[in-house]
Amino acid sequence: MTALWTSAAIAQATGGKASAVFDASGVAFDSREIGPGDLFVALKGEHSDGHLHVEQAFASGASGAIVSQPVDGPHILVSDTAAALDALAKASRERTAARIIGVTGSVGKTGTKEALYAALDRCSFGHAHRSVKSYNNHVGVPLSLSRMPEDTKFGIFEMGMNHAHELSALTRLVRPHAAIITAIAPAHIGNFPTGEQGIVDAKGEIFEGLVPEGTAIIPFDSPHYQRLRKKAERHAAHVISFGFEDGADVRAVDVVPAPRGGSLVTARLGDQSLCFTIAEAGRHWVSNSLAILAAVRAVGGDLASAGLSLAEMSGIDGRGRRHVITLKSGGKAVVIDESYNANPASMKATLQHFTVEPCSGQKIAILGAMGELGEQSAQFHAALADDILHCGMDAVILVGEYMAHTAAKLEHGLDQGVKMSHAESASEALSEVAKLIGDGDVILIKGSNYLGLSSAVSALVNGEY
């Protein structure tokens, strides 16, 4: 098998000096994720120093390391390991002929990235590459690029941001042929003094790194469409819109519920029509699928493969994965894991679908607070009560201090038969749901990642409640 990187190539890319000859089959900066043959990058952070874990990395099978101080074992000595990782990412991008897609947005980034990967990996017979997990920041993006094999045909990279100018740097590393903005919503709005317009401008930075003849893919139904389009037109040779409304370049002309969940969609792409099934449920996934089709066509992928892949998609941990669990009391229940993140738009979309979720027992929701909403946090959490009231759920457990605003509004609107409680932590929420859960129930768990609601999901799935 051809090495991902040789020590000579790493040294040339980073300007470092190799202490020995070695080959690397992978790249990692977390010593706990090192596998046999991997290159370990010893990054220095505010509260950690990877050089303290070099010995552990070699014990786990690392073939070499990038370091800024000499160590025992094969290594590349550089002055700055973070800069070296960026340089390795640039070298990876420069050596490949792959068609590259960048994905950002306030919601739907990871699911869209995974669906694109599935579609393009299918039509390239295993020669697609993507960023794993949610490695979408100033460290995760260069790591994902540096892991891309030279013979990759399609690369898909998720890019995220919490502040202005972050995406500008990331997209210049990725240099995509096509760049998608899935949707704009008030995520991280507390970091943007100008509100959603600031988020729009920051997300639009993804177009700054487009290659010549690149394609910008933007949501037509967004209230910020014109602002996004103006930004896209400054950097993209082609701008493609997607959505449900007349005028979108890629448009859903018919959407009906699929027999086993999900949706049956007829989409129009210019002079082409495509009928396909989406395994994932919800209107937001229909919207994501339109962006996916636009991107697949923009980079020369196969639309039929994309349709098949969308029909086979399964949920992602923390972002919609469904678990059928066997209860201690007998019977079964369904746990919907949306525990990775939450903002006002994703909460609304998830709760809208929960309204039509088939259920023979109770509908129960564990809803965690939404982070980084700044001065508008109280307003957004109070507004969430309206979405909860329209869900028709039987019980809701609110988690986190900001949910006090939601609880206060709900107290005046919930039907007497609907149970509501307010928990301080994930463990307390788990104790509450354990008192309620029964055969045929569906339990939705969603909240910002800092609350650790994934621990409640794990406990329910593993019968530890």
277 in the same domain as 153: yes
Judgement on whether residues 363 and 419 belong to the same structural domain of the protein: yes
Domain boundary among 261, 277, 312: 312
Domain count, the chain: 3
What confidence score (pLDDT) does residue 93 get?
98
Query: CB–CB of 381/370 below 8 Å?
Result: yes
Query: Which CATH number belongs to the domain containing residue 176 in this structure?
Result: 3.40.1190.10
Question: Residue 354 maps to which CATH number?
Answer: 3.90.190.20
Residue 89 is classified by DSSP as H
Residue 348 maps to a domain: yes
Contact predicate 31/55, CB 8 Å: no
- For residue 10, give the nearest of 40, 49, 45 by alpha carbon: 40
**Are both 426 and 402 inside the same structural domain?**
yes
Within-domain flag for 89: no
Segment (H or E) for 431: helix 426-436
Cβ-in-10-Å burial (0-12, 13-18, 19+) of 408 comes to middle
Note whether 71 and 102 are same-domain residues. no
122 lies in some domain: yes
Same domain, 389 and 278: no
One pLDDT digit (tens) per residue for the chain, 465 residues = 689 999 999 999 999 999 999 999 999 999 999 999 999 999 998 888 999 999 999 999 999 999 999 999 999 999 999 999 999 999 999 999 999 999 999 888 999 999 999 999 999 999 999 998 778 899 999 999 999 999 999 999 999 987 888 999 999 999 999 999 999 877 666 666 677 888 899 999 999 999 999 999 999 999 999 999 999 999 999 999 999 999 999 999 999 988 777 899 999 998 889 999 999 888 889 999 999 999 999 999 999 999 999 999 877 788 888 899 999 888 999 999 999 888 888 898 899 889 888 899 999 999 999 988 888 899 999 999 989 988 888 999 999 999 999 999 888 777 667 889 999 999 999 999 999 999 999 999 999 989 999 999 999 999 988
**Domain CATH number, residue 58:** 3.40.1390.10
Residues 410 and 308 both lie in one domain: no
Looking at 312, 334, 353, which one is the last position of a domain? 312
DSSP 271-320: TEEEEEEESS-SHHHHHHHHHHHHHHHHTT--HHHHHHHHHH--PBTTBB
* Residue 356 in domain: yes
Structural domain range at position 299? 96-312
167 and 299, same structural domain?
yes
> What are the residues facing 277 on neighbouring strands?
264
pTM of the model: 0.81
| Together in a domain, 334 and 391 | yes
Q: Strands, DSSP E only, in 140-297?
A: 154-158, 178-181, 215-219, 238-243, 250-257, 263-269, 272-278
pLDDT at 186: 73
Distance CA 375, CA 372 (A): 9
pLDDT at 315: 75
Are 290 and 428 part of one and the same domain? no
Residue 91 in domain: no
111: in domain: yes
Task: Quote the pLDDT of residue 324.
Answer: 93
* Domain co-membership, 306 together with 226: yes
- Of 294, 312, 330, the residue at which a domain comes to its end is 312
Q: Is residue 205 part of a domain?
A: yes
Compute the radius of gyration of the chain from its Cα atoms: 23
Are residues 76 and 133 located together in one domain of the fold?
Answer: no
The answer on 150 and 208 residing in a single domain is yes
